[in-house]
Chains A and B, each alone.
Chain A
Amino acid sequence: AQSVTQLDSQVPVFEEAPVELRCNYSSSVSVYLFWYVQYPNQGLQLLLKYLSGSTLVKGINGFEAEFNKSQTSFHLRKPSVHISDTAEYFCAVGDSGGGADGLTFGKGTHLIIQP
């Protein structure tokens, strides 16, 4: 069984400040890890993913995340946020066995950018 914990339901940050959104996972097998962003009334857009290889993953819109196996974490970071980054961010875990298994999502973190 897999689970994802996003420790913060809301993160307020001032514009141009750095941000970190935390994600911890648990799984009995090797995993794939994802971060999705959801803008109001929109679908889910993939920001980045970790499948294997380098533990530092770079995604779109200046975001990056680091896979830490010992701490079972996959925190998302951005060095300088913009008003347009205001959205809901979901961390998700998938079974590295591949196939068509569904992802398990965290509860989401609402990133609020303050001017």
Chain B
Amino acid sequence: AAGVIQSPRHLIKEKRETATLKCYPIPRHDTVYWYQQGPGQDPQFLISFYEKMQSDKGSIPDRFSAQQFSDYHSELNMSSLELGDSALYFCASSRSGWGSNTEAFFGQGTRLTVV
């Protein structure tokens, strides 16, 4: 079965550079969530999209932005990168939110290292 695809799997950037992370949800999933997991930390919710509209916002820095496109894939854009942005970034997708019979599936993550 198709899973959530994230690219790239690994990314190394220098301070003050920009990075774009991509997430391709499971087919027919209309909701995408982004999480940031620092070293040894729990995943922190950043932002989510439902039907291409921002649905909920968590602890996403102003330097980050994201969007969901017409084909439901999502991109997380990160500018003015800082050392503290080094983390594993997860994308998850679900069909119409977490409710009743919905399950969210996580991708393998993109490991971003800022040097």
Residues of A within 8 A of B (CB): 32, 36, 42-46, 49, 51, 90, 94-96, 98-108
Contact = CB atoms under 8 A, between A and B. Distances in A.
27 contacts: A42-B108, A43-B106, A43-B107, A44-B43, A44-B92, A44-B106, A45-B106, A46-B103, A51-B100, A94-B98, A95-B98, A98-B97, A98-B98, A98-B99, A99-B50, A99-B56, A99-B97, A99-B99, A100-B33, A100-B49, A100-B50, A100-B94, A102-B47, A102-B56, A103-B33, A103-B98, A105-B44
Contacts of A107: 41-42
Interface of B: 4, 31, 33, 35, 41-50, 55-56, 58, 90, 92, 94, 96-109
Contacts of B106: 36, 43-45
Nearest to A32: B98
B60 to A, nearest CB: 10
Nearest to A44: B106
B45 A104 contact: yes
B95 to A, nearest CB: 11
Contact of B43 (A32, A90, A94): A90
Contacts of A94: 98
A8 to B, nearest CB: 14
B98 A101 contact: yes
Contact of B58 (A49, A95, A102): A102
B9 to A, nearest CB: 10
Contacts of A42: 108
A102 B90 contact: no
Nearest to A99: B97
